Amino acid sequence: MTHQIIMAGFGGQGVMSMGKILAEAGLKEGKNVSWLPSYGPEMRGGTANCSVIISEEPVGAPTVTEATAAIVMNRPSLDKFEKDVIPGGNLFINSSLIDKKATRTDINVYYVPANEIANDMGSGKIANMVMLGAYLKVANAAKEDTIMEYISEVFSGKKASVVPLNKEALKRGADCIK
Amino acid sequence: MARELWKGNEAIAEAAIKAGCRFFFGYPITPQNEIPEYMSLRLPQEGGCFLQAESEVAAINMVYGAAGAGARVMTSSSSPGISLKQEGISYIAGAELPCVVVNIVRGGPGLGGIQPAQSDYFQATKGGGHGDYHLVVLAPDSIQEAVNLVQEAFDIADAYRNPVMILGDGMIGQMMEPVEFVGVPKRQLPEKTWATTGLRGRENHNIINSLFIDPAVCETHNQRLFKKYAEIEKNEIKVEEYNLEGAEIVFAAYGTVSRIVKNAIKALEKEGIKAGLIRPITLWPFPKANFLKAADMPSVKAFMSVEMSMGQMVEDVELSVKGKKPVYFYGRTGGMIPTPKAIVEEAKKILGGAK
């Protein structure tokens, strides 16, 4: 199975970090991975996206044009990337900020109120991890334990306090998937 | 050392340091800025020198100076900045000095854009500056290969006293992939007895120059350079052949585009069409013989060069194939990236037409 994921939102929503965390976890599990960011005159509030590939096979093109999943954090990202999901693929919509429904009927669509959940947890910044939790529940691109292992490595010492918050965010996201 | 996720630009910079590069002179431009940024942090830690010059022209002439003193030195830039460096690159080639120049190509001409492109192929392989000279041009298709080639580039440069260019594109610079900094086999290199480091007891002082005012002397110099280039062509060609056996169509692609082509080859296979790929890793010297050999294969009906340009490497493919089989081209440019699907459709069009 080759997971080809597009993650998109506006600058500051943590879509680049979300992609990197997933790629790092894939690597930890011994898979082949790539992470390709959109780059350019990006700024906070502008649009940002990254393409992540996790595969047992060597990664071919690092570009994702036929996504097995798309995670969209804001409305422009839904408009831009809904068409790139393959039939039968998964689309994760941040329903806190996107009031529109998906138009495709040949894909699985999951609505996750990521910002509401994150705010409820006391940190709006963690919305990306809520979305990632929802994604991981559906697609087995990486194990939650591996994600947490990586996060514990990154946030050590004084920053270790955010580790349980991340774990909780992944769980709350996963709980959105019925 | 385990595999770690590295961003291309930073991995290229670290590879250079691992290869003994201790001097870097550059000027910022997207999409290669992480190279100088990383060098500015790491080179002082290694006792080296990072300097952000006042311009690309100054930077390449600082490279000229450091190379003349026998140091391992690198500069990096992206397309418009590499254009500015061409005068200096020609001087360095003329003076026969080793150095490594990284070009993380963006769309052109002019200021163009900042997205990935391969439209500097002609500039890199045909001599972007004036005069009869060649750079060795290495085109990695992954971050791991970039890391390996950068390390080898310094050895090639020293072995032949010639500038070596790493030709990547914005994707190579910006993406992250797993990397292992494996030791690239080190070559036996001649001592740099020519370096301008002071007399040190020698009788004659070393002079490094690219001025040959007497035309006869200048011609002899050129002929000598070309003997060296012939040696490089004999010894240094690197190429990957992929899926050639029984192929009806043979793609030519380098760098990141070759990976998109590999996806297309798999998709074609599902439709019962056998396709192969010749991926030049050295763009100069160009793997002409591999193309000629493929042209003689009875199964091969056509070649197709796929590039992020309006068609540059395709000319070398045509020259190599010597008219034995038709050569087609498909490309996107200006920062647009070809999709596997579009390549599949183009290939089917060609094969349909050939029947």
Domain ranges of chain A: 2-175
Chain-chain contact of B177 with A33 (C-beta, under 8 angstroms): yes
Helices B340-354 + B256-270 axis angle, to 10: 60
Give me the pLDDT at residue B65, please. 98
| B307 bridge partner residues | B331
How would residue A46 be classed by pLDDT, with cut points 50, 70 and 90?
confident
Give me the pLDDT at residue A94, please. 98
Q: Enumerate the H helices of chain B as residue ranges.
A: 8-18, 34-45, 56-68, 79-94, 121-125, 143-160, 170-174, 215-235, 256-270, 288-295, 313-321, 340-354
Give me the pLDDT at residue A164, please. 95
CATH of domain A2-175: 3.40.920.10
How would residue B127 be classed by pLDDT, with cut points 50, 70 and 90?
confident
Three-state DSSP class for B69? coil
Whether B26 and B55 have beta carbons less than 8 Å apart is answered as no
State yes or no: pLDDT of B76 exceeds 80.
yes
Q: Which residue of B has its CA nearest to A38?
A: B174
Which positions in chain A touch B340 (Cβ < 8 Å)? Answer: 60-61, 65
Give me the pLDDT at residue A42, please. 62
State yes or no: pLDDT of B355 exceeds 70.
no
Q: Closest Cα of chain B to A142: distance in Å?
A: 16
Instruction: For residue B218, give the amino acid letter.
Output: C
Note whether B304 contacts A: Cβ–Cβ < 8 A: no
Domains of chain B by residue range = 4-235, 240-354
Q: Which residue of B has its CA nearest to A37?
A: B175
B260 vs A23, A37, A61: nearest CB: A61
Chain-chain contact of B170 with A61 (C-beta, under 8 angstroms): no
How would residue B35 be classed by pLDDT, with cut points 50, 70 and 90?
very high
Q: Could you identify the residue written with the tokens 């003349």?
A: B68
How would residue B252 be classed by pLDDT, with cut points 50, 70 and 90?
very high
Hey, CA dihedral for B152, B157, B160, B162, is it positive or negative? Answer: positive
State yes or no: pLDDT of B354 exceeds 70.
no
Q: Closest Cα of chain A to B240: distance in Å?
A: 15
Chain-chain contact of B256 with A62 (C-beta, under 8 angstroms): yes
Give me the pLDDT at residue B352, please. 87
A35 vs B175, B263, B339: nearest CB: B175
State yes or no: pLDDT of B353 exceeds 90.
no
Residues 163-192 of B with CB under 8 A from A: 170-171, 174-178
Whether B327 and B302 have beta carbons less than 8 Å apart is answered as yes
pTM: 0.96
Which positions in chain B touch A35 (Cβ < 8 Å)? Answer: 5, 175-177
Among B321, B255, B262, residue whose Cα is nearest residue B294: B321
Helices B313-321 + B288-295 axis angle, to 10: 50
Q: Closest Cα of chain A to B222: distance in Å?
A: 41
State yes or no: pLDDT of B334 exceeds 90.
yes
State yes or no: pLDDT of B201 exceeds 90.
no
pLDDT > 70: percent of chain B: 99
Which positions in chain B touch A36 (Cβ < 8 Å)? Answer: 171, 174-176
Cα atoms found within 13 Å of the Cα of residue B350, Cβ hemisphere only: 25
Give yes or no on whether B4-235 and B240-354 have one common fold: yes
CATH of region B240-354, choose from 3.40.30.10, 3.30.300.100, 3.40.50.920, 3.40.50.300: 3.40.50.920
CATH of domain B4-235: 3.40.50.970
| Mutation for B interface: A24, A53, A63, A84, most B CBs within 10 A | A63
Whether B299 and B247 have beta carbons less than 8 Å apart is answered as yes
Note whether B334 contacts A: Cβ–Cβ < 8 A: no
3-state secondary structure chain A: CEEEEEEEEEECCCHHHHHHHHHHHHHHCCCEEEEEECCCCCCECCEEEEEEEEECCCCCCCCCCCEEEEEECCHHHHHHHHHHEEEEEEEEEECCCCCCCCCCCCCEEEEECHHHHHHHCCCHHHHHHHHHHHHHHHCCCCCHHHHHHHHHHHCCHHHHHHHHHHHHHHHHHHHCCC
Q: Which residue of A has its CA nearest to B143?
A: A34
Give me the pLDDT at residue A40, please. 72
Give me the pLDDT at residue A96, please. 97
Give the number of A-B residue pairs with CB atoms closer than 8 Å. Answer: 62
Give me the pLDDT at residue A43, please. 65
Chain-chain contact of B175 with A61 (C-beta, under 8 angstroms): no
Give me the pLDDT at residue A1, please. 87
Cross-sheet strand order for the sheet of B302-307: B239-242, B275-280, B249-252, B302-307, B327-331
CA distance B195 to B295: 45
In chain A, the largest separation of any two C-alpha atoms, in whole Å, equals 47
How would residue B8 be classed by pLDDT, with cut points 50, 70 and 90?
very high
Tell me the pairing of strands A2-10 and A47-55: antiparallel
